[in-house]
Structure 1
């Protein structure tokens, strides 16, 4: 990377399309993407990335796309997502990401609210949602003029008045460029006209407490935060390789698979699906990995379950090595991981005997740095990976902050904390404990919602809505969301997330929701982990057929009761769970109980499970 480009990135003085153009011209044949098709990982170069984005952009211009128009993308993660994203931005458009798991009503809200004129759909399922939104809703989608489908399978007989294929748009782009030299230059001219403070994407919040809001983000917002991670961890074209598996409409995945990618010129590998992440990690062995808490929990769970099924000698070896590694970790953690020569030799022996194989088993044996963000996570989860030698750091940020604004590193790695601020961040803690920040990365506001913008950003200060504290070493610690803090009838303020994370440390608990606001004791709704509890039941020859029948077994209740009692010992009496109820169904995004990023919608839970909550607090049997 040239020195001038590096300096520009540090100030956010660049745009994503210009970075794409830089790598396509300086390293055209370098690997940009890998995508698995029929068991083969296909390779795509930076030249291919740039040229396809150009063809798509020119195709949009042929269809009447204008600077400032908005294009929505509802698709799984694919290279076409990126081609449409950067191609649209290059001609001055704004991209609106939509979770592929969103039902048609949520898609309708976002497409209509954003005034998107074009919608790129990954497959027939997403096209059907758009058509449903047009036909089944009284408002419809009056702004939409084109639906562009990447995979046309199953749609041969669909009306083609609005629908066309992604390939047809590329062919239109070819014809547009061939028509005249001026039109052929439209893409390059468009890139040259892009400015760092242009709005390049709308990211809709997950909507845990109300309808999603469209956060307007500029190139500068995204580049200036992500560059802090790039420079601190010395990431470049030779050592930055990631697996793309979170929805690309989520700002965390966008930060790594789009922003970090175009900043470093590294490699993005597309997971086949969220369900195959574990397999794809072993195939790719990325050097950088971002995981939401649930992913790290599943990776830990995979190792634990594998060891439970291992031969007695293997299980004994794992237990001995892990116990030795834990003792070594605890001795050195107060020194920020600094080890004496004897301790380094001790760990090297444990790595050779056991930890090397565990790292390879989950596909992270090449990982330079791992990050955990997106929601609160139990310190025990991060501790597990650090014991086996994987550097996993907690990060903190939000859509409105343009990405990560606090992160851990080699010298700030306290369990339960979330690191130190990025350079240039002004921050303070309000009287009520809320974190407030000011930085060029702070977003441009919410689309069509000046009132919400004014409440969130006051005199340039972003009110994050997170209650925080400082650890003894100066790192930031996230207590909870302000709206999630429980105030009991006795006036005690309690953070539910810490208790919930402790419950989810159990391999048998998938989700836990602590209740008690305005009540005289705490309770919990518990969703068991169907896979692990099912395996536990099979080993004891307990009969069940579905999640519901499994959840209602008396033996399962005793199993969860033991886990609740274990957790209660970790907290003060006022923070103990007095009663709990095992949910008869798994929480689901389609039912509105979870956001697309698997966060619990507490307001919806209170309404949908009012009968269960009444059983707990109304004197019934729970």
Structure 2
């Protein structure tokens, strides 16, 4: 398609399937749906709001949050204006986050709540513009640079404007601190991310009817490549839990067809299932062993599915799972075999990372792919 970028694909789905559900998120125990047309309109409002704040081509929006729809929409709005989204993992140790924020010295930050807002204000440059999602604890905050997400929308208009983003530009930049306490960066262009998403869509036969679950932060290359990119390439529904603590209950309630997880994710889910297994020597334990035998007869498979496998899959919200993806380090064979016994066949999708160590002298500057060899560019 013309303009192979995240904003262009959002516009495409808004035009071709405006009434289908693009996002679903849980708030105060209630699931809320947002269709592609409405999602497109909200992103346009955010584009207008960011533009009024002075965000423009080449600027970076730092995201300090657990997975939530606001971070995704702000990322696309920043890219719409020719900028870059830089997700940081809020679960990092405080000193690591402080080092990253001090090094980046961002001018624009999206922070989830009070803790993340205070981290951003403490380690960013003076005058940083902070957009936050949760107002609890911030009602009496005197900082004029703080803007609540909903208030940001109320003062913006959804005026159509052509995206500034170009396919060869960076869409996302990931940052981390290595063992030597040096900051490293990895850039991801629009076209390369969307191509990798398209490859996954073709290989796994993903379609518009998929229900994907976003339970981890976007500060990993695997989630950018194999969750966000396929979402826009195929145009399926992306679901967000209410918060990181409710993710397992929310997944059980939804029963997604597509899940992207790391080794830690699947080992945690495995432990949840194993905790429900009866003692091996008990009568029920012997029945479970009988029902899950790999060389099971037709009767065993029938009983195993309805009486054992399906209930155990329900424990982790995998009742309808079709494409469980693993990114990062491999799972032990014992874990892979355990999931196979439940008819959950985990597929590994990952690429070698291309981290680049930044010069320690450029505390407020980082090189972009376009400027390597031609100087360095400020992260604003």
* Partner residue of 1:224 out of 192, 195, 209: 195
Match of 2:29 in 1: 39
Cα distance in 1 for residues equivalent to 2:337 and 2:227: 26
Match of 1:375 in 2: 329
Cα distance in 2 for residues equivalent to 1:15 and 1:364: 32
Cα distance in 2 for residues equivalent to 1:371 and 1:166: 32
Deviation at 1:345, TM superposition (A): 6.9
Match of 2:64 in 1: 74
* Partner residue of 1:147 out of 121, 124, 130: 130
Match of 2:305 in 1: 351
CA contact (8 A) 1:103 1:129 kept: no
The question of 1:30 aligning with 2:20 is answered yes
DSSP 3-state at the match of 1:173? coil
Match of 1:468 in 2: none
DSSP 3-state at the match of 1:316? helix
The question of 1:64 aligning with 2:54 is answered yes
Structure 2 residue runs of 5 or longer lacking an equivalent are 367-380
* Partner residue of 1:233 out of 181, 204, 218: 204
Let me know the Cα RMSD of the aligned residues: 2.8
Cα distance in 1 for residues equivalent to 2:265 and 2:46: 34
Deviation at 1:285, TM superposition (A): 0.8
Cα distance in 2 for residues equivalent to 1:129 and 1:309: 47
Deviation at 1:207, TM superposition (A): 2.8
CA contact (8 A) 1:203 1:399 kept: no
- Pairwise mapping of residues 431-510 of structure 1 onto structure 2 (< 5 A)? none
Cα distance in 2 for residues equivalent to 1:446 and 1:58: 34
* Partner residue of 2:97 out of 97, 107, 120: 107
DSSP 3-state at the match of 2:101? helix
Deviation at 1:349, TM superposition (A): 4.7
DSSP 3-state at the match of 1:72? strand
Deviation at 1:217, TM superposition (A): 1.4
Match of 2:155 in 1: 172
Deviation at 1:310, TM superposition (A): 10
1:268-289 deviation digits (Å, cap 9, x = unpaired):
1112333333222211111111
Distance 1:271 1:311, change over 3 A: farther
Higher radius of gyration, 1 or 2: 1
The question of 1:261 aligning with 2:231 is answered yes
DSSP 3-state at the match of 1:360? helix
Match of 1:363 in 2: 317
- Pairwise mapping of residues 82-481 of structure 1 onto structure 2 (< 5 A)? 82-134=72-124, 141-142=125-126, 144-174=127-157, 184-185=159-160, 188-189=161-162, 191=163, 193-205=164-176, 207-208=178-179, 210-238=181-209, 240-308=210-278, 312-322=282-292, 324-325=293-294, 327=295, 347-400=301-354
Cα distance in 1 for residues equivalent to 2:189 and 2:359: 17
Deviation at 1:376, TM superposition (A): 3.0
CA contact (8 A) 2:222 2:328 kept: yes
1:456-485 deviation digits (Å, cap 9, x = unpaired):
xxxxxxxxxxxxxxxxxxxxxxxxxxxxxx
Match of 2:373 in 1: none
Cα distance in 1 for residues equivalent to 2:266 and 2:177: 21
Distance 1:394 1:257, change over 3 A: closer
- How many correspondences in the alignment? 364
Match of 2:376 in 1: none
CA contact (8 A) 1:104 1:132 kept: no
Cα distance in 1 for residues equivalent to 2:105 and 2:168: 21
Cα distance in 1 for residues equivalent to 2:192 and 2:285: 48
Normalised by the size of structure 1, how large is the TM-score? Answer: 0.54
Deviation at 1:107, TM superposition (A): 2.9
Normalised by the size of structure 2, how large is the TM-score? Answer: 0.87
Cα distance in 2 for residues equivalent to 1:206 and 1:243: 28
1:66-95 deviation digits (Å, cap 9, x = unpaired):
211111111121111111110100110111
Distance 1:212 1:241, change over 3 A: farther
Cα distance in 2 for residues equivalent to 1:264 and 1:195: 20
Distance 1:112 1:67, change over 3 A: farther
Cα distance in 2 for residues equivalent to 1:316 and 1:104: 48
Distance 1:125 1:354, change over 3 A: same
1:413-453 deviation digits (Å, cap 9, x = unpaired):
xxxxxxxxxxxxxxxxxxxxxxxxxxxxxx8x666689xx9
Cα distance in 2 for residues equivalent to 1:71 and 1:236: 31
Cα distance in 1 for residues equivalent to 2:136 and 2:245: 22
Match of 2:377 in 1: none
1:533-560 deviation digits (Å, cap 9, x = unpaired):
xxxxxxxxxxxxxxxxxxxxxxxxxxxx
Deviation at 1:294, TM superposition (A): 1.7
Structure 1 residue runs of 5 or longer lacking an equivalent are 135-140, 178-183, 329-342, 401-442, 454-622
